[in-house]
């Protein structure tokens, strides 16, 4: 487990410039190098490919951004801790802003509701205690489709929380495994999630069940069992449903049933629910964003922008929950749903 503090590395001045050039390229037309990398990666992994067993890299597991390698011929001059801290904050803030320079990340139209309080993690953040967040899921948790590990949703979420709480001790652990769904995830729940002693678990589930034509009702039963175990461990939980994308939409009936069942389970078990499917559909149908701005060429996985906006909206809800706790407000989980419709 790697602890993600906001100032845990020194980045070269060249790194933000390179990142900016990449980020300023329109999302719908990825750089040639990124296309080659994505094509190679697609040959090895698909969200519905059960045979994928690749582990997330260390950079995917950290979630706090990546320090550039040091030029040994021209090592940087020693700087004070304050200077390092200021430079790191500026660097992370610039990276966060550049990804939305072409298309802004807006909340769903129609007055989305908060997904409700996350009392455990919010109380610890509000009181300055260390916080552990585990991102649990399949290849969209791993971050398949991104051009850099920096742009996985757990890494983007970690960067956002570090900007909001620059002195907080926040650890974000990526426990995504490509090709899995509830049956496989339940087998590794103890070791991958519960043994990490999380304060918050973000569980992305259901996409591969739709693609593999698994019974949505059976998936919902397994998810409910997993929720009970996570709650018994004292952690808050947010469920994330399948993504709105061409491949998922090919199985519209199964996808619709899965989305409804996961939302219902979240409501019955009083846990948070982030309806990714509805949020992404809002991007396309109400905000008129082309699908290839947020879904890569395989028709399934998200782009850098898609992951970044998903992480931003999710992080906004976590931050809102902390604010509610500070004000002495604890929104009941039975009115938790983040409903854009």
Please give the pLDDT value at position 278.
95
- CATH number of residue 298's parent domain: 3.40.50.1110
Calculate the average pLDDT of the chain: 77
Domain membership of residue 270 (yes or no) is yes
Which residue(s) pair with 4 in the sheet?
170
Domain membership of residue 6 (yes or no) is no
| Total domain count, the chain | 1
Q: What size, in residues, is the chain?
A: 341
Report the C-alpha gap between 207 and 337 in whole angstroms. 20
Q: How confident is the model at residue 114 (pLDDT cuts 50, 70, 90)?
A: low
Domain membership of residue 315 (yes or no) is yes
Which residue(s) pair with 136 in the sheet?
175, 203
Domain membership of residue 54 (yes or no) is no
Strands 131-137 and 170-176: parallel
Q: How confident is the model at residue 283 (pLDDT cuts 50, 70, 90)?
A: very high
Please provide the DSSP assignment of 98-145 as one string: HTTSSS---PPTTTPPP----HHHHHHHHHT--EEEEEEESHHHHTTT
300, with CB counted inside 10 A (0-12, 13-18, 19+), is buried
Domain membership of residue 162 (yes or no) is yes
**pLDDT tens per residue, range 285-297:** 999 999 999 999 9
Quick check: 60 pLDDT over 60? no
Reference 113, options 279, 340, 283, 265; nearest CA is 340
- At residue 74, the 3 state secondary structure works out as coil
Domain membership of residue 2 (yes or no) is no
Q: Give the range of the structural domain holding residue 299, as residue numbers without chain letter.
A: 14-45+59-64+78-335
Quick check: 39 pLDDT over 60? no
Quick check: 334 pLDDT over 50? no
Domain membership of residue 1 (yes or no) is no
316, with CB counted inside 10 A (0-12, 13-18, 19+), is middle
Domain membership of residue 50 (yes or no) is no
**pLDDT tens per residue, range 234-256:** 999 999 999 999 999 999 999 99
């Amino acid at each position: 487990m790697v602890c993600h503090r906001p100032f845990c590395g020194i980045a070269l001045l060249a790194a933000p410039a390179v990142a900016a050039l990449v980020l300023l390229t329109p999302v719908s037309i990825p750089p040639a190098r990124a296309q080659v990398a994505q094509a190679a990666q697609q040959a090895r992994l698909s969200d519905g490919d059960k045979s994928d067993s690749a582990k997330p890299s260390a950079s995917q597991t950290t979630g706090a951004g990546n320090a550039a390698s040091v030029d040994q011929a021209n090592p940087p001059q020693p700087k004070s801790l304050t200077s390092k801290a200021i430079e790191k904050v500026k660097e992370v803030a610039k990276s966060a802003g550049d990804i939305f320079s072409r298309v802004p990340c807006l909340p769903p139209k129609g007055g989305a509701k908060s997904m409700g309080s996350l009392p455990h993690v919010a109380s610890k953040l509000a009181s300055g205690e260390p916080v552990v967040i585990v991102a649990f899921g399949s290849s969209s948790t791993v971050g398949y489709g991104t051009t850099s590990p920096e742009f996985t949703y757990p890494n983007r979420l970690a960067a956002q929380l570090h900007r909001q709480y620059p002195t907080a001790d926040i650890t974000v652990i990526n426990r995504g495994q490509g090709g899995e769904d509830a049956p496989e995830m339940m087998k590794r729940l103890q070791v991958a999630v519960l043994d990490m002693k999380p304060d918050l678990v973000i569980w992305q589930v259901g996409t591969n069940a739709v693609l593999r034509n698994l019974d949505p009702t059976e998936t919902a039963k397994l998810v409910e069992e997993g929720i009970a175990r996570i709650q018994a461990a004292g952690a808050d939980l947010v469920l994330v449903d399948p993504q709105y994308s061409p491949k998922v939409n090919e199985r519209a009936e199964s996808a619709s049933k899965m989305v409804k069942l996961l939302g219902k389970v979240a409501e019955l078990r009083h846990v948070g629910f982030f309806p990714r499917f509805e949020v992404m559909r809002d991007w396309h149908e109400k905000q008129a964003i082309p699908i290839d701005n947020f879904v890569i060429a395989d028709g399934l996985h998200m782009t850098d922008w898609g992951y970044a906006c998903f992480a931003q909206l999710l992080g906004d809800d976590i931050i809102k929950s902390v604010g509610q706790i500070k004000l002495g407000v604890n929104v009941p989980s039975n009115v938790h749903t983040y409903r854009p419709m």
